Amino acid sequence: MGNKSPDAYHCYEETLQTTRVGLFFNIASMCNTNTWQAPLWLDNAYLEKVLRSYLKDDNVTIVDVKIHPVNPNGENYASVMSRIKITFKQFKNQESQQLSFILKYSYESDAYVANIMNSYDVYNTEMKMYEQILPQLAKVLQESGDMNKLCADTLKVDYERSTIIFEDLSVQNYVMANRQRGLDMPHASMVMKKLGKFHAAGAVLNERQNGTLQQFDHGIFNRHSRSFGCIFENFCLEVANFAKDSPDLGIYYHDKLTKLSNHIVDYGIKAYTANPHHFYTLSHGDLWTNNIMMRYDKANEAESIGTKRVLKDIMFIDFQLCNWSLAAVDLHYFFNTSLESNLLMDSIAQANLVQLYHSELSDTLKKLGYDGHIPTLREIWMQLEESKILALIGVIAQRPIMTSSQSDDADIHSLLDDDERARNFRKNCVNNKDYQIILKNMLPVFDRRGLLDLQK
């Protein structure tokens, strides 16, 4: 994507307004901009306390506050994101200053969806991550001389209101890539480097704190809840229906996928903990294009359309599905949801990315004095092979959602329900011509690997 025109990218604000920020829950974190109101507790007094703590200045006074919803029109289900622009003064500097932050809070107006979100512990997970874990991971990495940030800084975590206030990365010129196009090799390579560091820091922190990160055990596939299971089963069946009508695939693939649909959730759960002897770490759990912010060289921003932009840094966002699992979980998830289609079908390119990831992981673990076993490249490949079902799941049940051009019906009920509206949404996702090319190429590959067969 580095050689594509700048209009292939969207600014942070625009993308949050027009695309899904998370796979299952943030797809529903929408609010009607015509009727939206800030929560009553979010007044100047509350924000003044937050700002004083952040700036370490008890004399801060707020002059003006502007709060706008960041999400598109729709129903409020899981969480709402808003942008807060605060104009303020400090005692030592009476000139007005301005800062911008992102507010994320739960909005449980739908009891059915709220219960599902609670079963995956998404709110507590993300609040703990922002308040406790992410700052500690940053300090661990700083020991190796790495001062680059993994994510936005946290201003406030309010457990009572299930609220997080953090940096607005758009102010620092971070943007999102085009989720439908996916990421090219330069972008994917930088993600691998950052992911290697993230995984290394997680392993080291867990070791130092006697297993504290193992409390995060509510990833997309877990042994506590199967509420998202219908999403995977239904998309597996939708792909099966496509295969039946495709001259390139046919009834053979239809029958295999139909049988597989009843078992795919069990296989996913098993893959997250495939082998206790493998290297485990804190996985992001939802590592795809829209959860990765990109910053480019400013020198290129004013140049003409079509000029190649130089990628300078990335940051991760959305930590609601972080979990203690195989390192391969994030690799499979990222590769099969977020790579450009040509890279998705290029085994050599992916091998290069895995090698780059492993190099960053092992080097960082060594620098940090990790006492545990540092996995060899061969061992990372063994992880990937043993959890390969996650690649299949990514292609048939996650990528079609994430690359869909359908936005009108892109809400949580279209994923969880099985009415006509939901069935039409799934069908439209799979009807994407670019996605169908991927299926025609990759389903035979998965079949030759035995991944369409039932496991014993």
Position 359 in a domain:
yes
Compute how many other C-beta atoms are within 10 angstroms of the C-beta atom of residue 162: 18
Determine how many CB atoms are found less than 10 A away from the CB of residue 154.
18
DSSP string, 386-399: HTTHHHHHIIIIIH
Q: What is the pLDDT of residues 62-97, one digit of tens each?
A: 999 999 887 553 333 346 788 999 999 998 777 999
Decide if 18 is inside a domain: no
Q: At residue 110, what is the residue type?
A: D
Residue 156 main-chain phi, psi, to 5 deg: -155, 135
- 346/278 same-domain check: yes
pLDDT given at position 2 = 41
Spatial distance between the Cα atoms of 59 and 360, rounded to a whole number of angstroms: 44
| Predicted confidence band of residue 6 (pLDDT cuts 50, 70, 90) | very low
Comparison of pLDDT for 352 and 95, the residue scoring more: 352
16-20, 145-149, 412-416, range with the lowest pLDDT: 16-20
**What domain range includes position 381?**
111-159+170-449
Residue 12 in any domain: the answer is no
Say if residue 7's pLDDT is above 70: no
Q: Is the dihedral of CA 46, 48, 54, 57 positive or negative?
A: negative
Q: Range with the lowest mean pLDDT among 184-193, 243-252, 396-405?
A: 396-405
Task: Mark whether 101 and 231 lie in a shared domain.
Answer: no
Instruction: State how far the alpha carbon of 83 is from the alpha carbons of 38, 105, 147, 209, 301, in Å.
Output: 11, 12, 27, 35, 24
Residue 344 has pLDDT above 90, yes or no: yes
**278, two tokens:** 């493998």
In the predicted structure, residue 264 carries a pLDDT above the cut 80: yes
For residues 17-33, one letter each, b for 16 or more C-beta atoms within 10 angstroms of the residue's C-beta and e for the rest, the string is bebbbbbbbbbbbbbee
- Model confidence at 58, pLDDT cuts 50, 70, 90, reads very high
Give the Cα separation of 278 and 351 in Å (integer): 19
Q: Is residue 1 part of a domain?
A: no
Using CB atoms within 10 A of its CB, is residue 347 exposed (0-12), middle (13-18) or buried (19+)?
exposed
CATH at 65: 3.30.360
172 CB contacts (<8 Å, ≥6 apart)?
295
Could you tell me if residue 16 is inside a domain?
no
Domain count, the chain: 2
pLDDT score recorded for residue 273 = 83
* CA angle 14–18–23, rounded 5-degree value: 120
pTM of the model: 0.89
Residues 183, 102, single domain; the answer is: no
Q: What six digits make up the tokens of 226?
A: 């199967």
- Asked if residue 95 and residue 138 are part of one domain, the reply reads no
How many other C-beta atoms lie within 10 A of the C-beta of residue 224?
11
Same domain, 181 and 287: yes
Residue 178 falls within a domain, yes or no? Answer: yes
Do 119 and 260 fall into the same domain?
yes
In this structure, the answer to whether residues 142 and 228 fall within a common structural domain is yes
Mapping DSSP to helix (H, G, I), strand (E, B) and coil, where does residue 106 land?
A: strand
For residue 378, give the nearest of 352, 358, 407, 399 by alpha carbon. Answer: 358
Q: Are both 285 and 316 inside the same structural domain?
A: yes
pLDDT confidence bin for 35, thresholds 50/70/90: low
How far are the Cα atoms of 233, 245, 255, 396, 403 from residue 436, in angstroms, in the given order?
A: 18, 12, 18, 10, 12
* Rounded-to-integer distance, Cα 136 and Cα 202, Å: 9
Q: Output the average pLDDT for the chain.
A: 87
Mean pLDDT for 335-353 is 97
- Regarding whether 70 and 215 lie in a shared domain, the answer is no
In order of 158, 229, 275, 359, the CA distances from 220 in angstroms are 24, 9, 18, 27
Q: Decide if 355 is inside a domain.
A: yes
Say which residues have a Cβ less than 8 Å from residue 358's Cβ, sequence separation at least 6.
196, 375, 377, 380
Q: What are residue 23's phi and psi, to 5 degrees?
A: -70, -55
For residue 5, tell me if it sits in a domain.
no
Which amino acid, one-letter code, is at 415?
Answer: L
Question: Is the CB of residue 204 less than 8 Å from the CB of residue 372?
Answer: no
Q: How confident is the model at residue 17 (pLDDT cuts 50, 70, 90)?
A: very low
**Strand partners of residue 99:** 86
Q: Which of 36-45, 171-180, 297-306 has the lowest mean pLDDT?
A: 297-306
pLDDT for 113 equals 79
The answer to whether residue 29 scores a pLDDT higher than 60 is no
Secondary structure percentages of the chain, helix, strand, coil, to 5: 50, 15, 35
Shared domain check, 240 and 376: yes
Q: Are residues 134 and 237 in the same domain?
A: yes
pLDDT band at 231 (very low <50, low <70, confident <90, very high): very high
pLDDT of residue 247: 96
Question: Do 242 and 397 meet the contact criterion of CB atoms below 8 Å apart?
Answer: no
Cβ of 46: how many Cβ atoms within 10 Å?
16
Query: CATH number of the domain that 223 lies in?
Result: 3.90.1200
309 and 272 together in one domain: yes
Tens digit of each residue's pLDDT (9 = 90 or more) over 101-160: 999 887 556 777 778 888 999 999 999 999 999 999 999 999 989 999 999 999 999 999
Amino acid at 180: Q
Please give the C-alpha separations between residue 51 and each of 154, 173, 185, 403, in angstroms, as whole numbers.
Answer: 12, 22, 40, 38
Average pLDDT of span 371-390: 97
